[in-house]
Structure 1
Amino acid sequence: MFENAKIWTFDRERPTAQAIAIEGNVIVAVGDRDAVRDTAPDAERIDLQGACVIPGFNDTHAHMEREGLKTLRPSLAGAKSVGDILARIREAAAIIPPGEWIVTMPAGTPPFFFDGVSSLAERRLPNRHELDAAAPDHPVYIQGVFGNWGKPPGHSGLNSRGLELNNIGPDTRPRVGGVKIEVDAQGIPTGIIVEHNNRPTVEFDILPAVPRFGFADRLEGIRRSQRLYNAKGTTSIYEGHGSAAETISAYRRLWELNELTIRAGLVLSPSWNDLTEARRIMRDWLATARGSGLGDRWLRVSGIHIAYGGDPVVACCARAHLPDTGWSGFVEQAVSPSDFREACFLAAEFDLRLHTIVGDQLHEIVPVLRAVNERHPIAERRWVIEHIGRARPEDIRALKELGIYVTTISTYYLWKGGSKYLNEADGGNGVVPHRAILDAGIPLAIATDNIPYDPFFTLWTTCAREERSTGRVIGPDQRLDAHTALELFTAAGAALTFDEGWKGRLKPGFAADLAVLSDDPTTLPPAELKDLSCLLTIVDGRIVHDVR
């Protein structure tokens, strides 16, 4: 029993409480101290000394598998010069057996790496010859930044052995645009490759010899990710962007081993090549993902993600390396508007919940949803629209009429990428319009997108809506108060996995998933939300994080 707390339950019948009792993996009582003591007289009593308690965060666009992977490679964080990087390479060479690859994280300051090579005194990576001297017996690869974390360009670096193993020479030409192999005055590659694509393609396109994340890496990555997410108060995730077969297999294995400490809702990321193959796969192989899917309270797979748009060359390069998906964890897709329309009809025909990222193209997606709905009513199917950028009022109304669920990424569109919305005619009120979506009565949940994975940062961007470089507010009328944002980040996401009847709120009979915070978000100015921390996390009645 936890008492002397300020508890936000997000239960309409009892929105606040001072005490909560847990028996096994469920909540048995919530209320004032004396009432809860009477209900659970023999419970161990823990005085939280006025701390704030909320339901555990449900990160509904988490990309959780990535975070732990970042810790598997040597970090260059804090390196201020080429010499600092070479020192890190020498340290790795002293540990890694000769002949094996040394692969590091990018230059710059994590988690965003915005500063990249500009953080180095020379404003460049070491060239091939400098890396040769630091690790003469190893191939070396300094990876470029994954654009979803920060911003392009990304700078990659290889030594001579790394270039040779990948057959990079004066005549090498990347298939994907936006990639430049730097050369010296004689036309010989220097070892530096610069990529301007948001989703890096260089490894898939021209670096086939660079080691990939194997299945064991992905297992360990998720194990580490869980600890990191638990430490932020996260108890559930939903991967609406879709998960490739290898990613789902890693989660399934951890489920078999009883090692999950995060409840995971996954969506399929398909690898079909055309609509004929899509129909056959949906008809013959995806029965377990139909409707609410298949799974239990720890792991559930439901629905598919179908992209709208994409670069066919990028998709081709990436798919050639399956089951490896690099950092993404999903299968790269390139879907034309006409193919997207037909795929949506197929998804409805075979009762597969659609998930799609719309960005600024919601106005192009809505007519497709309307057409599908005329043949296959979708209002009760919980189809999900994700990553909304601009949204017109008439399209928001359409989403309500169609019974669509929405998840948004305020950090991606407002803070990290908000510069393109600074001069909107309506002041940005049509960009990630949280208030308008809620006022329309549309089920809404917010998420981190792993940029970063810290939910308190996302709370801040949702409530403040400030663009990164200028601090200007985008869409002041769409700002949310912290209490509303908390509900969207905790209780609201349960409906995406059809679990709203047993998790997401702090009420008797619900899962004992909760977080104890360093302060009450509802009492803080928006600027201080990102400085919050989690003191204690409980999942399924078990403590998984405790720094009290």
Structure 2
Amino acid sequence: MSTMPVGGLVPRATDDAADLVVRNAKIHTGDPVRPQAGAVAIRDGVITAVGDDKDIALQIGPGTKVVDALGRRMIPGLNDSHLHVIRGGLNYVLELRWDGVPTLRQGLAMLREQAARTPKGQWVRVVGGWSAEQFTERRLPTVAELNAAAPDTPVFVLHLYQSAVLNRAALKAAGYTRDTPDPKGGQIVRGRDGEPTGMLLAAPSALILYSTLAKAPVLEGEDKKTSTRHFLRELNRFGLTSAIDAAGGFQNFPDNYDTVAELAKAGQLSLRIAYHLFPQTPGQENDDLARWIEMARPEDGDAWLRLNGAGENLTWAAADFENFAQPRPELTPDYEAAFEKAVRLLMENGWGFRLHATYDETIRRDLAVFEKLGAEGLFPAGNRWLFDHAETVSADSLDRIAALGGAISVQNRLSFQGEAFVRRYGPGAAADAPPIRAMLDRGLTVGAGTDATRVSTYNPWIALHWLVTGRTVGDLVVRPPHNRVDRRTALAMFTEAGATLTGEEGVKGVLRPGYLGDLALLSEDYFAVPEPDIAHIESLLTVVGGRIVYATAEYEGLDEELPPVSPAWSPVARFGGYQATPFSGLSGSRQAELLGQAVAESEQHRQWRVRRGLAPETGRPVFDPCFSL
């Protein structure tokens, strides 16, 4: 019997012994029949028993792996209901992550070091997961800082849906000159001499940002598989066991889905993925949808990789933008004609969908189309459908969504964009952006997610912190108490609700016999830590289908070994992914701010001592400007 550690438990051989038992835990099952437990047993990927240690002892046989939770909190595995996981995996090892970095100084030091490691022809790219508001400095890097950090290596730094900062080498690599015209919906900022400065603005469309990023080199061959496996392991680090992929721009089917399909076939996925298909060419959306309907059916696949429907865009003209630094975009007055054809095609062929919609003005127009089709019996018709985002959805629209059998997936975009939203629309509008409590009060299924990786971080605990506290990563209170949720509700949005959105509510999302053996053993007790520390929680042991896919601390070495990060110069090989900050009861930004004040006060005190002859005039600096505070 393999044990880790068993704490004196005597195994009992049975014919149907478990493959894995985790005991001595504080288990939140999510099951109202048995909400709390102390141990769980898993066999052939499925939970066979949930109970106390004595109950589960009957499941232990000679080949059972027994893990002692050491009294830690266990929860059902998390399920991100809106994550660009496929695209994220194909790019993960190419990107320098500023997620969780508390100071711009540290970010620039990382960038400088990575530029020195990056071979000629490659770019240093910082793509999402951070906001200037999280930094002590409360600002973006300047073009001059990027030029100084990387004189010869192209650097692309994406900030939210708003802007990107490029150094001189990146402008050259992208081919931007004084003669390059501004694309529709975007702006190349220029100096007095007409030359590009290095700043790109979404005005309001982020297409200029993404099309510029697409000029950078991509991974090939086995490196795509390795990158994806390391990204999934990084998600497992935070207790994620499932995700619903929302597709996205520049994600073509089937080409960009081949990597996850091959990993699934080889049994090398460590995260369950339900994916969507997103038409890529404006004006050809219905052709794409019709072709896909002939190729596949929703729920094709298995519990590891399955098709869930179309979206998050169905037609490009129906998509609004989420750049809160710009005014709300006005969509074309006639987009409904093509949009109705797309929705009709899907509903008549048994395809569900998800639909990107930020503003209530867009949602009302979409609902009018659905209600027209509903008069023909197409809504509700047993096909799962939902709105994504819905930051400004109205009470009337929520009632209409409920009447049509829809659901909603909300993301913590305002963790990173909350300050911009408040500046644009005011604190009153921000208080209900989105109106989560009103959604839940109507009985709607409301899944939670991150919308990572190009804006928000993929760390689900930042999203859970936002759901519970209403605070941004810059510590601004955006949502007051009336629009927050308690910890159990927030967790259910990240577990049970996600399962419902893929039609798997009887399969996963709670810890119950007969359900998939997906769980996370947490570094801290989610239900007991102070609210600010929710954002710092990680998983110490993540299990998917009875497989230990992530293990650290006392459990290090129990997970599966991954191939080395490739290419060797990858930022992930040097820095890893999310930059964890210590538990402190303070936000990362506030913690760094206080530390910066302490450093400044120390330097003032040193100068005071010099003036009084109590210290030498030249001395060791308080900090090295190349490194973080």
User: Normalised by the size of structure 2, how large is the TM-score?
Assistant: 0.71
Q: Is the 8 A contact 2:183 2:208 kept in 1?
A: no
Confirm or deny that 1:47 pairs with 2:72: no
Indicate conservation of the 8 Å contact 2:238/2:537, yes or no: no
Conserved? CA contact 1:65–1:225, under 8 Å: no
- Encode CA deviations 1:328-387: one digit per residue, 9 max, x unaligned: xxxxx9993432233222221222212101212233322222122222133421112111
What is the CA-CA distance between 1:250 and the residue it aligns to? Answer: 2.2
Aligned residue in 1 for 2:338 = 339
C-alpha deviations, 1:464-491, integer Å up to 9, x for none?
Answer: 1124556234242121110111111112
Cα deviations across residues 252-271 of structure 1 (Å, max 9, x unaligned)?
Answer: 12212321110000000113
Structure 1 contact 467–474 (Cα < 8 Å) conserved: no
Which of 217, 228, 233 does residue 222 from structure 1 map onto?
228
DSSP-derived class of the 2:540 partner: strand
Alignment match of 2:164 (pick from 154, 157, 175): 154
Contact 1:53–1:515, Cα closer than 8 Å, also in 2: yes
Identical positions, percent: 24
Q: Which residue of 1 aligns with 2:52?
A: 32
Counterpart for residue 289 of structure 2: 282
Residue pairs, 1:195-214, within 5 angstroms: 195-197=201-203, 200-202=206-208, 210-214=216-220
Residue 144 of structure 2 corresponds to residue 125 of structure 1: yes
Return the offset for 1:284.
4.5
Cross-structure match for 1:302: 308
Give 1:106-121 correspondences, 5 Å limit: 106=126, 111-112=130-131
Matched, 1:483 2:488: yes
Equivalence for 1:7:
27
Give how far 1:227 is off. Answer: 1.0
**Aligned-partner Cα distance in 1 for 2:87–2:159:** 11
Aligned pair in 2 of structure 1 residues 46, 175: CA closer, same or farther (>3 Å)?
closer
Q: Secondary structure at the match of 2:520?
A: strand
1:285 deviates by 3.6
In the alignment, residue 293 of structure 2 is paired with which amino acid? L
Distance 1:313 1:355 in 2: 12
After the TM superposition, which residues 215-364 of structure 1 pair with which residues of structure 2 at under 5 Å, given as runs?
Answer: 218-242=224-248, 244-245=252-253, 246-274=255-283, 277-290=284-297, 292-305=298-311, 307=313, 336-361=335-360, 362-364=363-365
Deviation at 1:168?
3.8
Q: Which residue of 1 aligns with 2:93?
A: 71
Corresponding residue to 1:144 among 145, 150, 157: 157
Residue aligning to 1:16? 36
Could you say which residue in structure 1 is the equivalent of 2:78? 57
Alpha-carbon distance in structure 1 between the residues aligned to 2:466 and 2:108: 37
Residues 230 and 545, structure 1, Cα contact 8 Å, conserved in 2: yes
Deviation string for 1:265-304 (max 9, x for gaps)? 0000113543xx54444344424544x4311111001211
Q: CA deviation at 1:213?
A: 4.9
- Report if aligned partners of 1:59, 1:448 keep a CA contact under 8 Å in 2: yes
CA distance in 1, matches of 2:38, 2:399: 39
Alpha-carbon distance change, 25 to 198 in structure 1, aligned in 2, over 3 angstroms:
farther
How much does 1:2 deviate? Answer: 1.8
* Aligned mates of 1:265, 1:7 — CA distance in 2: 26
What CA distance in whole angstroms lies between the structure 2 residues aligned with 1:226 and 1:371? 41
Q: Are 1:82 and 1:122, in contact at CA under 8 Å, matched by a contact in 2?
A: no
**Structure 1 pair 194/202, CA: closer, same or farther in 2 (3 Å)?**
same
CA deviation string 1:127-171 (max 9, x = no partner)? 87x799x54xxxx321131525xxx33211233xx6566554332
Which residue number in structure 2 is paired with residue 434 of structure 1?
A: 436
Please report how far the alpha carbon of residue 120 of structure 1 lies from its aligned counterpart in structure 2 after TM superposition: 9.4
TM-score using structure 1 length: 0.81
What is the rounded CA distance, in whole Å, between the counterparts of 2:441 and 2:141 in structure 1? 52
SS in structure 2 of the partner of residue 522 of structure 1: coil
Which amino acid is 1:534 matched to? S
SS in 1 for 2:79: strand
Instruction: Give matches, 1:377-416, under 5 Å.
Output: 377-409=379-411, 411-413=412-414, 416=417
Q: Secondary structure at the match of 1:417?
A: helix
Task: Give ranges in structure 2 of 5+ residues lacking alignment.
Answer: 1-20, 322-330, 555-629
Determine if contact 1:81/1:120 at 8 Å carries over to the other structure. no
- Compute the displacement of 1:46 (Å): 3.0
- Measure the CA separation in 2 of the matches of 1:131 and 1:34: 60
1:232, distance to aligned residue in structure 2 (A): 0.5
The residue type equivalent to 2:93 in the other structure is T
Q: CA deviation at 1:222?
A: 1.6
**Aligned counterpart, 1:174:** 182
1:492-511 alignment, distance < 5 Å: 492-511=497-516
State which drifts further: 237-246 or 505-514: 237-246
Q: CA RMSD in A?
A: 3.8
Aligned-partner SS, 1:105: strand
Q: Which runs of 5+ in 1 are unaligned?
A: 316-332
**What letter is aligned with 2:164?**
G
The 8 Å contact of residues 283 and 350 in structure 1, kept in 2 or not, is answered as no
1:75 touches 1:104 (CA, 8 Å); kept in 2? no
How far 1:73 sits from its partner (Å)?
4.5
> How far is 1:529 from its partner?
1.1
**Aligned-partner Cα distance in 1 for 2:520–2:42:** 13
C-alpha distance in 1, partners of 2:395/2:236?
Answer: 37
User: Partners of 1:88 and 1:358 in 2: how far apart?
Assistant: 39
Cα distance 1:351–1:88, how it changes in 2: closer, same or farther (>3 A)? same
**For residues 422 and 108 of structure 2, what CA distance do their matches in structure 1 show?**
40
Residue of structure 1 in register with 2:586 after alignment: none
- TM-aligned CA deviation for residue 214 of structure 1: 4.8
